[in-house]
Chains A and B, each alone.
Chain A
Amino acid sequence: MPNSQGKHRLETTRRRVLKAGTIISLSGAMLPTTGLAQQAGPQPSPENGVTVPVSFRVNGRPAALDIDARASLLDLLRERLGLVGAKKGCDHGQCGACTVHMNGRRIASCLTMAAKAHGRDVTTIEGIAGADGLHPMQQAFIDHDALQCGYCTPGQIMAAIACVKEGHATTPEQIKEYMSGNICRCGAYVGIVAAIEQAAPQIERS
C-alpha cells in the first residue's frame, strides 16, 4: 500500500521506519546467533519516496518495516537487515550470487521486489546451518573445495540445496544443467557438482 510522496509524509515515514527498526531489533534478540545480522545490528533506514509496509519471516524470525517501494529483496536484506551473505554480482538475475529461498523455492533476490516478500518466508545463507553445525551442503562445499574467492558461494549453496529438493540432483549432468544459473568465475564447477552429489542423499526432497 504505497504512501503518497511529499515532505510531510516523508517525516512521518522516517518515524515509522525508526519504529520498524525497533521491532526488528526485538525479534532479533530471540534468535540464535547467525553472525552478521547481530554484528551489523539493525539500523533504521532513512527511506525516501514511496514506501510500503512489509512484514515477513527471514530465517525463521519475524521482520516488519516500511520499505522503499523501489527496493529489491537483495537490497532489503543487505542494506536494511544486515544480512550480507547474499551477494550482488550483476543486479540483473544473470549470475545467481543473490540466490535465496522464498517459501522454499530459490529466487534471484535482486530481481524480486522487496515488497513481494510480504507474508512470505525468506531463507538466506545465514539461516541454514543448524545449532549443531553446518548444513550438509556447506560441509560438502568444504570437503570438495567447491569455492575459491567465496563470493558466489552463498548463492551456489542456496541454489544447490534447492536443486536437491527439486529433485534435480539425480545425475551429474542434471546437476550441471540446474546449477547453470549460478556463475562461478573462479571456475569451481567440478567441486560444486561433487559437493552436491555428496550432500544430496543427506537432504530430504520436498
Chain B
Amino acid sequence: MTPSRNADRPRIDAHEKVLGRALYAADQPFPGLLHAMTVPATIAKGQILSIDTAAAVAVPGVVRVFTHGDFAQIRTTPAARGAYGQPGKGYQPMIGPQVRHRGEPVALVVAETLEAAVEGAEAVTVRYAEEPFSAEMDDSLATPEPEPVSQQASGDAEAAFANAAHIVDVEYRHPQQHHNPIELISTTAAFEDGTLRIYEGTQSAAAFAGGLAGMMGMEPQALRGVSPYTGGGFGQKNGVQEQSVLVASAALLLRRPVKLVMPRGQLFHTASYRPHSRHRVRLAADGDGRLLAGIYETVQQNSRYDGFASDHGANPPRLYGYGAWLGRERIVRVDTQTPGHQRAPHEHPASYATECAIDELAGALGMDPVALRLANDTQRDPLTGKPFSSRHLAACLTRGAALFGWDRWTSEPGALVAANGDRIGLGVACGSYKAAMTPSVTTLRLSANGQCRIATSGHEMGQGLRSVIAAELIEVLGVDPGKLDIRIGDTGHAPQHLTAGSWGAGSAAPAARAAALKLREELAQLTGAALTDEPVHAQLARTRRPFLEVSVDTLPLGKDRQAIEQLRRGMPVVTGPEYPDFLAFSWIAHFAEVHVEPSTRRVRVRRVVSVADCGRVMNRRTAESQVRGGVVWGIGAALRETAESDPRFGGVLNNDLAEYVVPVNADIGAIDVDFIDEPDNRLNISGVKGLGEVAMVGAAAAIVNAVHHATGKRIRHLPIRIEDLL
C-alpha cells in the first residue's frame, strides 16, 4: 500500500476546539475543588529565615498554607525541573530553606476559592538572608564551565583558513526568549479510581506518573498523567514543572482535589526559556564561493544546577558541503531558573548566526546568496561522511526562489524602493532539523458499527498529531473521521513518550499505520479472503464479531525491544539524526520580503515563502499551518522578542504579554508554504521526517538578511529594533 500524498483534510479536532469543548488541564471539573496560589521568592539567591503565614491563614476561605517545612520529604530526582534526566542535576523549590532563583515558589496557599487563595498568597510574609548572585551571563559573578560541553570536528579547519580567498569572522548575539504558550501552565491533582491523577497541559504525561511518583516516594501505578489537549507547548511543557509536585503533594495531604494555574508573571521565573547565547562564526571560501571551512564557537547561559545541554553545533556543519569544520559549545552558569528547549532550541539560534554569516560571505564574494547555497549543496554529511536518508534542500531553494520572485534581488542593498518610498529588502536562509523517532505502544479497535478507537503514545499540543494519526487510519482502513476516537497524552490509555524534538509525527504515524495494516491482515484472516473496497467495519460485521482489536509496539530504526520497556517505564528513548546507514534531517528554505519605512525605520515583513522537505506530508492543511506558525516564530525572534533581565534584583522585568512582545495579527503578512512531499521510506513506513521545528529554523535569518538588503545595515543582535536602523 503506497502512502498517499498531499491529503488535505480538516484538522480532526477542530470541531470540538471551535465549539470550546476541548477540555484543557485547568478546564476539568471536580466537586470540592480547592484552588492554590504560589508565593514567589522576592530575592534572587539566599536562605529563607522565616515565613509568617498567620495573616494568610486568617483570610476567610484559606484552608492551608504550605511552606518548605511541609514538603521536606519530596526528593529531587532526574525527573525534577532542570535535571533533564541527569542524576545530581535539577532543582525542586520548597523542599528546603534555600532560594536559588528569583520568583521560585516559597509558599503555597490553598483555599476554597481562587480569590481567597490569591489574597492569602499576598498576605504571606517571608524574611530572607540574601546572598550575592549573577542574573546574567555577562555579570562578574557568572561562572563559565572550564571545558566545552560539546565539540564537532572534521578535517583541519584552521589550516583551511590560511588558504582561503574570502573569510568572514563575525559574532551574533541571541537574546533570552520565553515560549509563552497561551495556555498558562497549570496543575490539577485529584483522586479518582484509587489513583492520583495529575492534569497538566504537558508534552510528557509520563513525567506525571513515573516522574512525580519517584519524587513523592510513591509507586508509579499510583499516579496517572492526563493531558489530552495541551494549549501550546513549544518545549516549555516537556516535563515536571516547579509547582507540579507541590500541588500533587497538597492534594495528597488535604485529600481533596487541588488546582493551581500559575500566573504568567510567575511563569517567566519558574518555567523554562531559551537562554541568551553568543555565536562566533568564521567561514572560509575560495574564489568561486566553495566553502573550505567553518569554525563555530558558542557560549550559552545556563543555571547553576541544570543538566541542559548546548547543541548549537549539531546542524550548521550538515547544511553545506564544508571542506572542514570545527565547532565548540561552552556554557556559563548564573543564578536563574533552568533554561530549556524552546522550539528549535539550538537549531534556531545556530541557523540565525550561521545563515546570516553565509549572507555576509555572499556579500564578500559578490555572489547571489541563493547561488552560493546551491553551489555548496551536499548529499553527504561532512562530519561523518554518511549519506542523508533524503535531502531535497536544493529543490526547496529553487522552487522557493521561483514562488517568491527572487529574480527581483539586486546585489546592491537599498536598491528596491516601493511606490510609497519604503525600502524593500529580500532575504533568504535555509534550515534543517533532525528527523528523530521514539517507540510507541498502540492499541487499535475497530467496531462493527464503524467506530474506531486508537490509544497510542504522543501528545496533541496543536502541532496536529491527532490529524496525523487520523490520516493513516483513514487511508489504510477507510474509516469515517467522525467515528474516530483518538486517545493520546494519557498514561491511563497507553505508555506516553515525551513528545518533542519533532519526533511526534515520525513516531505516531508509523505506529498508527502499523496498527491499521495489522488490523487489515487479521480481518482478512477472519473473512478468509482478501479485503474488498467495501468499508472495513462492514466486512467485520459479516464475521459476526462486535469488534476486532490489535496491539502493536513500534520501534524506531536501530532500536530493539528494550526500547519498549524503557518507554513503559517513562524513560525517553530517542533515535536520530544518526542512524546505522545514514543521517536523517528535514530541510527548509525561507524567503522573506521586508519593507522598511524610510523615516521611522519601521520594519514590516510583507511576505514569506517557505518550501519544506519534511518527507511525506500527512495533511497538507495542518502542515501548512505548522510552517506558518514556525515563520511567525521567526518573525517574533527577528523583530520582537527578548527578555529584559534585571541585573540588580534578578528576574525578568518584562514578565507579561504587554511588554514581552510577541507577534500579533497585524504583524503578519502573507506566508506562502509549499512542500517537496517526497516520502522518506528509508526512515519509517509512513515516510515522515517531522516538521514543527524545521519550520522555524532559518526564518529569522531570512528576515535579518532581508533587513540588510533593504537598509545596508548588518545588525548582529536580536531583535532588530527601530533604533538599530536609524
Contact = CB atoms under 8 A, between A and B. Distances in A.
Nearest to B671: A190
Interface in A123-181: 124-126, 129, 134, 138-139, 141-143, 145, 147-154, 157, 175-177, 179-181
Contacts of B21: 35-36, 85
Contacts of B113: 45-48, 68, 71, 79
B338 interface: no
A200 interface: no
A79 to B, nearest CB: 6
Interface in B664-712: 664-668, 670-671
Contact of A145 (B263, B624, B658, B670): B624
Interface stretch (A22-30, A91-99, A101-109): A91-99
B280 interface: no
Interface stretch (B12-20, B214-222, B324-332, B526-534): B12-20
Contact of A190 (B13, B234, B461, B670): B670
B702 to A, nearest CB: 16
Interface string A81-125: 010111111111011010000000000000000000000000011
Interface in B69-114: 111-114
A31 interface: no
Contacts of A197: none
A21 to B, nearest CB: 12
Contacts of B633: 187
A186 B624 CA distance: 12
* 4 A-B pairs with least C-beta separation: A85-B20, A149-B462, A187-B632, A151-B231
Interface residues of B, number: 71
A48 B665 contact: no
Given A43-B31, A150-B462, A129 B232 contact: no
Contacts of A147: 11, 14, 17-18, 462
Interface in B301-315: none
B261 A88 contact: yes
B629 A88 contact: no
Nearest to B229: A150
Most buried by A among B263, B662, B666: B666
A149 B233 CA distance: 9
A191 interface: yes
A87 B10 contact: no
Contacts of A154: 20
A184 B114 CA distance: 26
A189 interface: yes
A52 to B, nearest CB: 12
B556 interface: no
B232 A186 contact: yes
B134 interface: no
Interface of B: 10-11, 13-15, 17-24, 26-27, 29, 31, 35, 59-61, 111-116, 118-119, 179-184, 229-234, 261, 263-264, 461-464, 621-622, 624-626, 628-633, 656-658, 662-668, 670-671
Contacts of A75: 114-115
Given A149-B230, A149-B461, A94 B658 contact: yes
A48 B19 contact: no
Given A48-B112, A150-B231, A188-B628, A90 B264 contact: yes
Nearest to B230: A149
19 contacts: A68-B116, A71-B114, A78-B27, A84-B20, A84-B27, A89-B264, A149-B229, A150-B17, A154-B20, A175-B665, A182-B664, A183-B662, A183-B664, A186-B232, A187-B630, A187-B631, A189-B664, A190-B628, A193-B665
Contacts of B31: 43
Interface residues of A, number: 70
Contacts of B116: 48-49, 68
B232 A180 contact: no
A40 B31 CA distance: 9
A87 B629 contact: no
B60 A87 contact: no
A145 B621 contact: yes
Interface string A35-74: 1100111010111110000000000000000001011000
Contact of B665 (A134, A182, A186): A182
A20 interface: no
Contact of A70 (B119, B462, B671): B119
Contacts of A190: 628, 668, 670-671
A205 interface: no
B115 A143 contact: no
A186 B18 contact: no
Contact of B19 (A97, A125, A181): A125
Given A70-B119, A152-B182, A185 B24 contact: no
Nearest to B462: A149
Given A43-B31, A95-B182, A142 B15 contact: yes
Contacts of A183: 182, 657, 662, 664
A134 B18 contact: yes
Contacts of A89: 182-184, 264, 657
A151 B180 CA distance: 12
Nearest to B232: A149
Most chain A beta-carbon contacts within 10 A, residue among B113, B233, B261: B113
A94 B19 contact: no
A204 B671 CA distance: 30
Contacts of A188: 625, 628-629
A203 interface: no
B182 A129 contact: no
B658 to A, nearest CB: 5
B629 A186 contact: yes
A142 B630 contact: no
A88 B264 CA distance: 10
A82 B29 contact: yes
B88 to A, nearest CB: 34
Nearest to A153: B17
A149 B11 CA distance: 11
User: Which of A71, A84, A149, A157 gathers most chain B CB within 10 Å?
Assistant: A149
A37 B112 CA distance: 20
